[in-house]
Amino acid sequence: MTTKVSPLAPKSYAEMPVLRGVRMATAEAGIKYKNRTDVLLMVFDQPASVAGVFTKSKCPSAPVDFCRKNLSHGKARGVVVNSGNANAFTGVKGRAATDLTANSAAAALGCGENEIYLASTGVIGEPLDATKFSGVLDDMASRATGDFWFEAAKAIMTTDTYPKVATRSADIGGVPVTINGIAKGAGMIAPDMATMLSFVVTDAAIASQALQAMLSAGVEPSFNSMTVDSDTSTSDTLMLFATGAAAADGQAEIADANDPALDGFKVALNALLKDLAIQVARDGEGATKMLEITVTGAESDAAAKTIALSIANSPLVKTAAAGEDANWGRIVMAVGKAGEAADRDRLAIWFGDVRVAVNGERDQGYSEEAASAVMKKQDIPVRVDLGLGSGKATVWTCDLTKEYVAINGDYRS
Amino acid sequence: MTTKVSPLAPKSYAEMPVLRGVRMATAEAGIKYKNRTDVLLMVFDQPASVAGVFTKSKCPSAPVDFCRKNLSHGKARGVVVNSGNANAFTGVKGRAATDLTANSAAAALGCGENEIYLASTGVIGEPLDATKFSGVLDDMASRATGDFWFEAAKAIMTTDTYPKVATRSADIGGVPVTINGIAKGAGMIAPDMATMLSFVVTDAAIASQALQAMLSAGVEPSFNSMTVDSDTSTSDTLMLFATGAAAADGQAEIADANDPALDGFKVALNALLKDLAIQVARDGEGATKMLEITVTGAESDAAAKTIALSIANSPLVKTAAAGEDANWGRIVMAVGKAGEAADRDRLAIWFGDVRVAVNGERDQGYSEEAASAVMKKQDIPVRVDLGLGSGKATVWTCDLTKEYVAINGDYRS
């Protein structure tokens, strides 16, 4: 297992402000790791509004099933997240583990089990010993504190090489509100899901239904536009909570996601989701390069996204990036295999500002040197114009390196 | 570039019999490689029946366009194949190159350009200098010989570590016939296409339409059930020729693919196609393990194949195989992400004969030792039963190793 921090890690981390209405604590429950925190408890002092999006896997984890069931209740008092074991494909034992964990958390917080949300990340198929939580949750509830975001992000890491945090502020009807988020994820990352695990909290007063609408819309151009290895986890969970603490400053609760008062909030929320998603892509297992792939001129935005993801998921494109090889032929290949309309003879391709191909062949002014210079950078913008319509999309991915193979060829042991 | 032969290479090669009606020659045209043959000419003494299946890429190579156009003519006199340059995404220059090559070959063989078939494999996007062929084709035509299959297979290799040949015999109406085939391919290999390049010839007398029907059916459980890296080439070409030489022994030409006289021939043809396809998968770039993935109990054969390919293309499954890790949780993940119906709680998974999971959780009798013993083998059978219906499919793939990354991170340079 690597201990090196990704070369693409942020140079500095956001200063995470305290957010009224939520407190956190972490503990070493010894699920799998030794000498590090592996369980996080988030506590909402008052019942918080709640929204969630989850993996589209047909084989979801027990915690995903559990959260989906509770969402209809619409209120949250606590979240328990553990790393080291995904509690996925664990059958009746998995359901027993979620029940026991929720029961312990509800007892610690004095609330109903339907106000508890759970997430687990780590190995699939190993039974999770939930009795390890029962011993620590009471204590965690009593010492939970608001100034703990960075520690919270650290407790949920698995193969992540750095914790992922982000914060934004907005204004609702003249009242300032804050949004804080954490995320984890480095492998088994693909779109068409929420993400690995991410928890976002605001002190705004917003009803669950409106939160859900904003979250479902916001996940598309952020977490669902990011891929590390095309593999979709059984456990992907993105949740958004609103503590409503800003009501004390006179912010009237908003029930409708289309309320114009939320316009600024949506911009801030979407920026935060994108920030976290890109942090996950930048921590892709073994990553040394970040690719931002933009497809323009497609028949539709959806077609553009399919093509962009075909490029982002191509092992040959990703290994070329690792080798700093301006191999634009592989971009052509990935466009061709995507299955969406493409006209070879209208295709143009750029690495950074260097146009390498146009009208279906190598650019007349092609300079291997100029293209290679772009590939040597840590951040590589790739653009493909299809010349067919106005559809466009941007996705993010990392390169495929020997280190990815090393990390994943030896993960369980 | 690796020079080591794949550990999965055949222990011995088929003795390729001379096949009446076809002769071959190879030459060093210096397209890209030095000191090795890189161009193959196949000559049919009499016009041969012809069938072909090609890449489904929306950005096909110039030779693929050229072959598609000529197929309607229905007769073949010659095939020119080169390695080192794919003549793909080369715009008008690419079409000029195919025209010039066909023109030179037609002159050398004294036939029409519409009786010539072309295939190119290698780098995409570099203009192909077809004048290099014009100098050698005349000479090749005069020295072409029947006992040359192995040399032919060698001339079309790119990153292949061994040549791929196969032969079968059959009986049509009491007359013995032979089928010989060659193939190349090691990377940029994925189904939903023909293959990389493969050329199959029989001396049977069979009309083009019947050949095409048999080839289109035969490609599905062979080349289209095999994946190295999920990337579909712009150049995939599989062609089947019938010289009709067996007519001299009294074999009456068969025009209808459903003619019962072809039953034995179809069995032999399908076996040969599968043989070649598996040889390609076993030469997957950097491969050290061969995975045969069988999915049973799916809602339909098509659903089984989608799930089998989801497993076969998963980087996490393939890296686990490279690490000899019996990480069946990743099989669950790949089943879940395939999008086809699956019931987590009915799923069962085997590595070899070792059942590792059943009814949605780890097998009660699970033995890490027994599962790991299977993973240490070179050939790893994986079976997943979905418990839903009677749909089934088998696909083949190789593991994903650091060597794959090394080969593809440094391919062009």
A325: chain B residues, CB-CB within 8 Å: 409-413
Whether B121 is in a domain gets the answer yes
Whether A36 is in a domain gets the answer yes
Nearest to A409 among B86, B322, B333 (CB): B322
Whether A1 is in a domain gets the answer no
Whether A14 is in a domain gets the answer no
Once rounded to an integer, what is the mean pLDDT over residues A294-312?
A: 94
pLDDT digits (tens, 9 = 90+) for B77-99: 999 999 888 888 888 899 999 99
Q: Is B336 exposed, middle or buried (0-12, 13-18, 19+ CB in 10 A)?
A: buried
Nearest chain B residue to A345 by CA: give it.
B91
A334 vs chain B: nearest CA distance in angstroms? 7
Q: Say whether both A169 and A201 belong to one domain.
A: yes
Q: At A189, is the pLDDT very low, low, confident or very high (cuts 50, 70, 90)?
A: low
Of A227, A257, A282, which residue is a domain's last? A282
Does the distance separating the beta carbons of A59 and B332 come in below 8 Å?
A: yes
Q: Are A41 and A205 in contact (CB under 8 A)?
A: no
A319: chain B residues, CB-CB within 8 Å: 404-405, 408-409
Phi and psi torsions of A288, nearest 5°: -125, -10
pLDDT of residue B194: 28
The tokens for A312 are 């982002």
Q: How far apart are CA B266 and CA B217, in angstroms?
A: 10
Residues of B marked active site are found at 195
Whether B9 is in a domain gets the answer no
Give the amino acid at A60: P
Nearest to B342 among A59, A86, A412 (CB): A59
Interface contacts A/B by beta carbons within 8 Å: 233
Q: Say whether both A160 and A306 belong to one domain.
A: no
Kind and range of the H or E run holding B106: helix B91-109
| Residue whose C-alpha is closest to residue B410's, from A405, A369, A325 | A325
The tokens for A391 are 């559809």
- Please check the confidence at residue B391 and state whether its pLDDT lies above 50: yes
pLDDT digits (tens, 9 = 90+) for B42-86: 999 999 999 988 877 777 889 999 999 999 998 999 999 998 888
| A324: DSSP letter | T
The residue with greater pLDDT, B270 or B227, is: B270
Q: Are A281 and A380 in contact (CB under 8 A)?
A: no
B184 is in an annotated binding site: yes
Whether A246 is in a domain gets the answer yes
Of A225, A251, A282, which residue is a domain's last? A282
Once rounded to an integer, what is the mean pLDDT over residues A385-400?
A: 93
Q: Kindly give the pairing relationship between strand A290-298 and strand B348-351.
A: unpaired
Q: Is B13 on the interface with A (CB under 8 A)?
A: no
Q: List all residues 6 or more positions away from A35 whose beta carbon is below 8 Å from its beta carbon.
A: A28
Q: At B3, is the pLDDT very low, low, confident or very high (cuts 50, 70, 90)?
A: low
The tokens for A382 are 């790739």
pLDDT digits (tens, 9 = 90+) for B98-124: 999 999 999 999 999 999 999 998 877
Nearest chain B residue to A56 by CA: give it.
B337
Nearest to B332 among A92, A192, A234 (CB): A234
pLDDT of residue A223: 78
- Please check the confidence at residue A58 and state whether its pLDDT lies above 90: no
- Please check the confidence at residue A97 and state whether its pLDDT lies above 80: yes
The residue with greater pLDDT, B308 or B231, is: B308
Q: Poorest-confidence range of A125-139, B25-39, B185-199?
A: B185-199
Q: How far apart are CA B330 and CA B291, in angstroms?
A: 14
Does the distance separating the beta carbons of A125 and B328 come in below 8 Å?
A: yes
B178 is in an annotated binding site: no
- Please check the confidence at residue B186 and state whether its pLDDT lies above 70: no
Q: How far apart are CA A60 and CA A69, in angstroms?
A: 13
Nearest to B91 among A233, A327, A345 (CB): A345
Residue the block writes with tokens 């914060």: A167
pLDDT of residue A294: 96
Residue the block writes with tokens 């004969």: B353
Kind and range of the H or E run holding A39: strand A39-54
Q: Are B325 and B380 in contact (CB under 8 A)?
A: no
Q: Are B178 and B167 in contact (CB under 8 A)?
A: yes
Q: Is A337 on the interface with B (CB under 8 A)?
A: yes
Does the distance separating the beta carbons of A337 and B231 come in below 8 Å?
A: yes
Whether B136 is in a domain gets the answer yes
Q: How far apart are CA B255 and CA B206, in angstroms?
A: 6
Q: Say whether both B278 and B392 belong to one domain.
A: no
pLDDT of residue A233: 64
Q: How far apart are CA B37 and CA B28, in angstroms?
A: 4
Q: Is B86 on the interface with A (CB under 8 A)?
A: yes
Residues 307-336 of A with CB under 8 A from B: 313-316, 319-320, 322-323, 325, 327-330, 332-336
Once rounded to an integer, what is the mean pLDDT over residues A56-74?
A: 88
A413 is in an annotated binding site: yes
Q: Say whether both A295 and A244 belong to one domain.
A: no
A409: chain B residues, CB-CB within 8 Å: 319-320, 322-323, 325, 401
Q: Say whether both B91 and B202 belong to one domain.
A: yes
Phi and psi torsions of B44, nearest 5°: -105, 120
Nearest to A57 among B123, B234, B337 (CB): B337
Interhelix angle B328-337/B315-322, nearest 10 degrees: 160
Q: CATH number, domain at A262?
A: 3.60.70.12
In degrees to the nearest 10, what's the CA dihedral of A208, A214, A215, A216? 110
Nearest chain A residue to B314 by CA: give it.
A231
CA B15 to chain centre: 20
Does the distance separating the beta carbons of B332 and A124 come in below 8 Å?
A: yes
Q: Is A338 on the interface with B (CB under 8 A)?
A: yes
Q: Say whether both A179 and A313 belong to one domain.
A: no
**Above pLDDT 70, what percent of chain A?**
93
Q: Say whether both B262 and B294 belong to one domain.
A: no
Does the distance separating the beta carbons of A333 and B231 come in below 8 Å?
A: yes
- Please check the confidence at residue A174 and state whether its pLDDT lies above 90: yes
pLDDT of residue A57: 77
Catalytic residue among A26, A195, A237, A243: A195
Does the distance separating the beta carbons of B90 and A325 come in below 8 Å?
A: no
Once rounded to an integer, what is the mean pLDDT over residues A284-293?
A: 88
Nearest chain B residue to A342 by CA: give it.
B58
Residues 279-308 of B with CB under 8 A from A: none
Residues 380-399 of A with CB under 8 A from B: none
Q: H helices of B110-262, where?
A: 131-143, 149-155, 208-218
- Average confidence score pLDDT of chain B: 88
Q: Say whether both A109 and A192 belong to one domain.
A: yes
Residues 96-135 of A with CB under 8 A from B: 123-127
Query: Can you give the residue range of the structural domain that contains B170?
Result: 22-282
Q: How far apart are CA B5 and CA B7, in angstroms?
A: 6
| Residue whose C-alpha is closest to residue B350's, from B290, B294, B281 | B294
Q: Is B345 on the interface with A (CB under 8 A)?
A: yes
Does the distance separating the beta carbons of B233 and A339 come in below 8 Å?
A: no
Q: How far apart are CA B185 and CA A410, in angstroms?
A: 29
Q: Say whether both B162 and B226 belong to one domain.
A: yes
pLDDT of residue B228: 67
Q: How far apart are CA A205 and CA A216, in angstroms?
A: 18
Does the distance separating the beta carbons of B359 and A91 come in below 8 Å?
A: yes
Does the distance separating the beta carbons of A332 and B124 come in below 8 Å?
A: yes
The strand pairing partners of A355, in sequence order, are A350
Q: Are B12 and B131 in contact (CB under 8 A)?
A: no
- Please check the confidence at residue B350 and state whether its pLDDT lies above 80: yes
pLDDT digits (tens, 9 = 90+) for A215-268: 888 888 777 777 766 666 666 778 899 999 999 999 999 999 999 999 999 999
Give, in order, the Cα–Cα distances in Å from B135 to each of A104, A233, B106, B132, B396.
82, 56, 13, 6, 41
Once rounded to an integer, what is the mean pLDDT over residues B338-362?
A: 90
- Average confidence score pLDDT of chain A: 88
Domain count, chain B: 2
pLDDT of residue B190: 46
Residues 143-182 of A with CB under 8 A from B: none
Of A261, A282, A303, which residue is a domain's last? A282
SS (HEC) of A170-232: EEECCEEEEEEEEEECCCCCCCCCCCCEEEEEECCCECHHHHHHHHHHHCCCCHHHEECCCCC
| Residue whose C-alpha is closest to residue B286's, from A295, A69, A400 | A400
pLDDT of residue A200: 86
Residues 180-199 of B with CB under 8 A from A: 187-188, 190, 192
A91: chain B residues, CB-CB within 8 Å: 345, 359-361
Once rounded to an integer, what is the mean pLDDT over residues B211-240?
A: 77
Q: Say whether both A197 and A229 belong to one domain.
A: yes
Whether A215 is in a domain gets the answer yes
B372: chain A residues, CB-CB within 8 Å: none
Q: H helices of A239-300, where?
A: 263-282
Q: How far apart are CA B88 and CA B91, in angstroms?
A: 8
Q: How far apart are CA B192 and CA B219, in angstroms?
A: 9
Does the distance separating the beta carbons of B89 and A329 come in below 8 Å?
A: yes
Q: Say whether both A298 and A273 belong to one domain.
A: no
Interhelix angle A263-282/A208-218, nearest 10 degrees: 50
| A268: DSSP letter | H
pLDDT digits (tens, 9 = 90+) for B188-214: 554 332 236 778 889 999 999 998 999
Q: Kindly give the pairing relationship between strand B290-298 and strand B379-385.
A: parallel
Q: Are B5 and B56 in contact (CB under 8 A)?
A: no
Q: Say whether both A162 and A274 belong to one domain.
A: yes
pLDDT of residue A360: 82
Q: CATH number, domain at A315?
A: 3.10.20.340
Q: List all residues 6 or more positions away from A263 whose beta carbon is below 8 Å from its beta carbon.
A: none
Q: Are B157 and B83 in contact (CB under 8 A)?
A: yes
